[in-house]
Structure 1
Amino acid sequence: MSLKTLQEGAILIADAHCAPWRTSFIDFLHALESDKIVTPQLILMGDIFDMLYGPIQRSYRYSTEGIDLLNRLGKKIEIIYLEGNHDFLLTDLFPGITVIRREEQPIVMDYEGKKVALSHGDSSMGWGYELYTALIRNPLLLAFLRMLDTLGGGFIVSWLEEQMKRKSHCRNIDDFERLTEQRLSGFKSGSADVLIEGHFHQNRSIKFPQFDYINVGAFACNERYFTVQSNQNKTLLRECSFS
């Protein structure tokens, strides 16, 4: 099967954590819609919304404008949406967008003969995290929580909102290179030349013997996004600042 092509000039955005209290991603989408920013391909690397859970309709109210904008843009440019741990089970919300579930990540794309793997990044995190992420995506559990939240006047979503407001997205992780090497020790040699992830918000590149690793910075921190440029100078991504 041929690989999907990562296009020259594609834009990658990770961890925008869009919410009513953090709206710069909405402004960015308006800039795309009005052609102030132009790209043939938009790749969303997960955690684009601070709270967007497909089966939990109450979570949509925080993201209605962003959902509508993405669906309109999906008719104009190719959009690939890698689900994160803050935004998942989204296929029905974005019918014109290619939604990649966690279990389907990383996806591998071709760019100038190189295999580029893309993932939100919350993989190989240990059995405890794997159990947690399976539970929060379980349809029966989500149905129960939705009923409980509705009967309780939205107290679950309101509690989550307060937790999200307090969270810092811009801290450095000590010993990130060693921790990344341990986490990716099972990454198959030869499966990709480059692995690009979000999730950790570190904005760092690491050269491992088997592949190059890029952890893109969070849009929620300084409104960073990344464009794909010619590989001739060995640089795959160019960092840009929306503001």
Structure 2
Amino acid sequence: MSHNIELKEGAFVVSDAHYSHIRPEFLDFLKAIHAKQLQPTQLILMGDIFDTLFGNVPYTQEVNSQAVSILNEISQTIEVIYLEGNHDFNLKKVFPKVKVFGIKEQPLKVEYGSKKVLLAHGDIESPLFYNIYTSIVRNPFVISVLNILDSISRHLIINRLDEYLSKKDDCKEFRGFREFIEKRLDNKYQCNYFIEGHFHQNKMLELEDFRYINLAAFACNQRYFIVKSFKDVELLEENIFSIQDDTVRRY
């Protein structure tokens, strides 16, 4: 299905921020955009932006309310594209002005000049058991049961999940990554670029049919990317977001 989305020069691309009260940096990043200290032409969020944000579980919206609110305000003035991940899904009602794409709508085809670009969070083309798991956790009945149990337990389930996820190492190296990607994606897609997150590797690979880009996780040193001119074969420029003495800095 075509959505007629154009990738814009100067767009910010962010993946795997895993935002929570333990990792607050993404909130500062959103505040900088909202205050126009950073001025993207478009904001593309590649999934797992929140560590736990489930559309049918109100408590997850409550604990992330400040970031959700600011992102909704940003979407009033610039185009925001959100590819759901495995930590954040069923979000179309949470972000009414954001163009939200679930896992079944990925990879998302966008055009950039004469280039065809495919975007995905990164959990497509996964093993059978993983696909079964993702279908179960996104199921409205399962989510409603989780919501009831979490409410009864005074949010013990979600809080324990947050605590567990906060201890994961999001910056570890994936050994044998090229071989894994070649087996998983090669000869399956027609495009110039295939961009995804999920694996947090910050690597670009020249495959037989396209240039593959795996994004760094924002959770690792606050890395994000800016779309360059479509004439630049590297396409994305890596940046690091930081605030020093109340001043927003890019590296």
Q: What TM-score does the superposition give when structure 1 sets the normalisation length?
A: 0.96
Offset of 1:232 from its aligned partner? 2.3
Tell me the alpha carbon deviations over residues 41-89 of structure 1, each in whole angstroms, 9 at most, x when there is no partner: 0000000001000001111222111100000000011000000000000
For residues 232 and 93 of structure 1, the distance between their equivalents in structure 2, rounded to whole angstroms, comes to 36
Residue 43 of structure 1 corresponds to 44
Match of 1:127 in 2: 128
Q: Which residue of 1 aligns with 2:155?
A: 154
CA distance in 2 between counterparts of 1:232 and 1:10 reads 15
Q: What is the Cα deviation at residue 101 of structure 1?
A: 0.7
Aligned position for 2:21: 20
Deviation, structure 1 residue 186 = 5.6
Q: Which residue of 2 aligns with 1:181?
A: 182
| Alignment partner of 1:211 is 2:220 | no
Offset, 1:185: 3.7
Q: Equivalent pairs: percent with the same residue? A: 41
- The 1-side partners of 2:153 and 2:26 are apart by 31
Is 1:10 the counterpart of 2:11? The answer is yes
Number of matched residues? 241
Q: Amino acid of the residue matched to residue 9 of structure 2?
A: E
Unpaired runs of at least 5, structure 2: 243-251
Partner-residue secondary structure (3-state), 1:232: coil
Match in the other structure for 1:231: 230
Question: Which piece of structure 1 moves more, 97-106 or 158-167?
Answer: 158-167
Q: Distance in 1 between matches of 2:23 and 2:174?
A: 23
Aligned-partner Cα distance in 1 for 2:154–2:174 = 37
Residue of structure 2 in register with 1:194 after alignment: 193
Please, what is the CA RMSD of the aligned residues? Answer: 1.1
Per the alignment, residue 143 of structure 1 pairs with 144
SS of the residue 2:92 aligns to = coil
Could you tell me how far apart the structure 1 residues matched to 2:9 and 2:19 are?
A: 26
Task: Indicate the SS of the match to 2:231.
Answer: helix
How many Å separate the matches in 1 of 2:235 and 2:186?
Answer: 23
Counterpart for residue 105 of structure 1: 106
Q: Which 4+ runs in 1 deviate beyond 3 A? A: none
Gap runs ≥5 in structure 1: none
Q: Normalization by structure 2: what TM-score?
A: 0.93
1:169 Cα deviation (Å)?
Answer: 0.5
CA shift, 1:235, in A, is 1.8
Please identify, of 160-169 and 132-141, the stretch whose mean Cα deviation from structure 2 is larger: 160-169
Alignment-derived partner of residue 221 in structure 1: 220
Q: Counterpart of 1:240?
A: 239
In structure 1, C-alpha distance between the alignment counterparts of 2:76 and 2:159, rounded to whole Å: 33
